Amino acid sequence: MKSKVQKMKTTANHPQTFRSVPVTSTPVSKTRVAALLDQEWARFKEGTGKSEIENTVAMETMPMGVPSSFQHWDPYPISIVSAHGAYMIDVDGRKLLDMSMGFGAMFAGHLNPAVVAEITASLSEGMLFVTPSPISRDAAERICKRFAIDQVRFANSGTEATMYAVRLARSYTGKNGVVKLEGGYHGSFDPLMVSCKPSLSEVGDANDPTPVPNVGTVPGEVYVVPFNNVESLERVFRAHADNIACFILEPVLENIAIVLPDAGYLESVRQLCDQYGIILIFDEVKTGLTAGPQGAAQRLGVQPDLITLAKSIGGGVPVAAFGGKAKYMQAVTDGRLGHFGTFNGNPLAMAGIRAIDQICTPEALEKAEALNQQALVRINEIIDEYNLPAHTVGFGVKGCITWSSTPVRNYRDYKATDFQVAELSWLWSLNRGIITPPGLDEQWLISLAHGQAEIDILVEDFRSLAKALRD
């Protein structure tokens, strides 16, 4: 994937990923950004009165008024009443273009007809068996074939999938240590909550990060390394391999916008894990089918020992999976790892997997990725036209605008980006009918429900922001 913009350059990221940074840029006025933020927050409050009321009432029965903490933002989040295709309707009656799509869970689009049909048919047979069924065997076969793994077990969330993958590695190796990336998020299992988005006042040396546990967790033995730093990883392995069960990472970090692997980095990680006898886990909860028809591992050309999946594989139904090489899954077979769950492999979730497997063809995903690539190229042109200190990053059907004129290769680079402009960019879009995830990470997703009209909306919205920044 290469940009056609002549005044842009692509840095040394993996060739199956996209990043284009400006040759030159001019800082934006902080005074101008602050004034626009004041304007846009006033506009937000004027147009979302019913969301404010809904949040106030909801806080009586739910902390923060939301079912999951990430759904909250100050002063209050948007409350949604319905969704179809690429759009949602909020309690104020506003039609919003959904560029988040449930972080990838709604990759097929809201109420995709094929997904609805499979789930409706499944409902006529029963909602929950809590026994083996041909439908779960069928789903397992589809997942194994698509993601090139030997065996798989189902779960109900990304957190469950990563938790069991780590437990499997510990059970197989008899070791308890876990290595993870600084800034990496893998759900709310205690050891994986270490150094998700730590304060820079606590993190120590950039090449030898200090693990920062989340309050209230008991993480155990966790080592933290920077992304794209082979030397740091080898140093940890060399010192602690006897205690380390696994290294878990997203092959492309999608918790802090989109951070791409350097060319050769993942190959080096694979070699080091083999050399030191450490199980390599790819967390593909967020990548999965959004990375391509067979996921990130196969697209990037590096096969882990275990992978975790969720979000995009189920069409919006809660479902997750962990699996990989048969020799490691043997620890489940022989009882070293107990894997349980009443809702594991339930018929509705399996119907979602079947539908997604049928509609997520290479042709369908290629079309969505082409639209994403178009958006990235056109936004590059706007960045160049207005000489903005920003750049675009993309992988598969996901893209983002990172407010920095230099590449982001790790968590420390991410923390050096301009979060004030990022907040304005997110709020500007929200006030004009485009919703992306809160968190200042500027990530969008092109689903199977998005078309040319939606790309035009996204691009022209950014053009209006660029103009406002330079007025």
The tens digit of pLDDT for each residue in 249-269 reads 999 999 899 999 999 999 999
Dump pLDDT digits (tens) for 202-220.
Answer: 999 999 999 999 999 999 9
Alpha carbon distances (Å) from 25 to 388, 390, 404, 433: 5, 8, 10, 29
Check whether 9 has a pLDDT greater than 80: no
Provide φ and ψ at 22, rounded to 5°.
-75, 145
Number of H helices, E strands in the chain: 14, 18
User: How far is CA 357 from each of CA 143, 322, 360, 416, 449, rounded to the nearest angstrom?
Assistant: 8, 17, 6, 40, 16
Percentage of the residues of the chain whose pLDDT score is greater than 90 = 94
Report the alpha-carbon angle 33-35-38, nearest 5.
110
* pLDDT above 50 (res 5): no
Q: What is the mean pLDDT of residues 188-199?
A: 93
- Answer whether 232's CB lies under 8 Å from 207's CB: yes
Is the pLDDT reported for residue 180 higher than 60?
Answer: yes
Say which CATH architecture domain 8-107+362-470 belongs to: Alpha-Beta Complex (3.90)
The predicted model gives 191-199 an average pLDDT of 93
Q: Exposed/middle/buried for 24, CB within 10 Å: 0-12, 13-18, 19+?
A: exposed
Note whether 445 and 100 are within 8 A (CB).
yes
pLDDT at 192 over 90: yes
Q: Which of 239, 355, 266, 384 is nearest to 13 (CA)?
A: 266
Strands (E), 126-277: 151-155, 177-181, 204-205, 208-209, 222-225, 244-249
CATH topology of domain 113-359: Aspartate Aminotransferase; domain 2 (3.40.640)
List the domain boundaries for the chain. 8-107+362-470, 113-359
Place of tokens 């485009």: 434
3-state DSSP helix/strand/coil percent for the chain, to nearest 5?
45, 15, 40
Cβ-based neighbour number of residue 159 at 10 Å: 19
Query: Would you say residue 128 has pLDDT above 80?
Result: yes
Of 5 and 222, the one with more pLDDT: 222
Beta-ladder partners of 393: 19, 400
Task: State the helix-helix crossing angle for 452-470 and 30-47, rounded to 10 degrees.
Answer: 130
The CA distance from 198 to 188, in Å, is 15
The mean pLDDT of the chain is: 95
Q: Is the peptide bond before 191 cis (omega within 30 degrees of 0)?
A: no
pLDDT at 290 over 60: yes
pLDDT per residue as tens digits for the range 408-419: 999 999 999 999
Structure tokens that stand for 407 in this block = 């590449």
Which pLDDT value is given to residue 360?
98
- Predicted confidence (pLDDT) at residue 71 exceeds the cutoff of 80: yes
List the single range of 33-37, 362-366, 434-438 with lowest mean pLDDT. Answer: 434-438
Q: What is the pLDDT of residue 440?
A: 66
Q: How confident is the model at residue 442 (pLDDT cuts 50, 70, 90)?
A: low
Q: What is the pLDDT of residue 3?
A: 38
Q: Look-up: residue for tokens 């033995």?
A: 221
Q: How far apart are CA 110 and CA 113, in angstroms?
A: 9
Distance CA 303, CA 176 (A): 23
Tell how strand 222-225 and strand 177-181 pair up. parallel
pLDDT digits (tens, 9 = 90+) for 317-370: 999 999 999 999 999 999 999 999 999 999 999 999 999 999 999 999 999 999
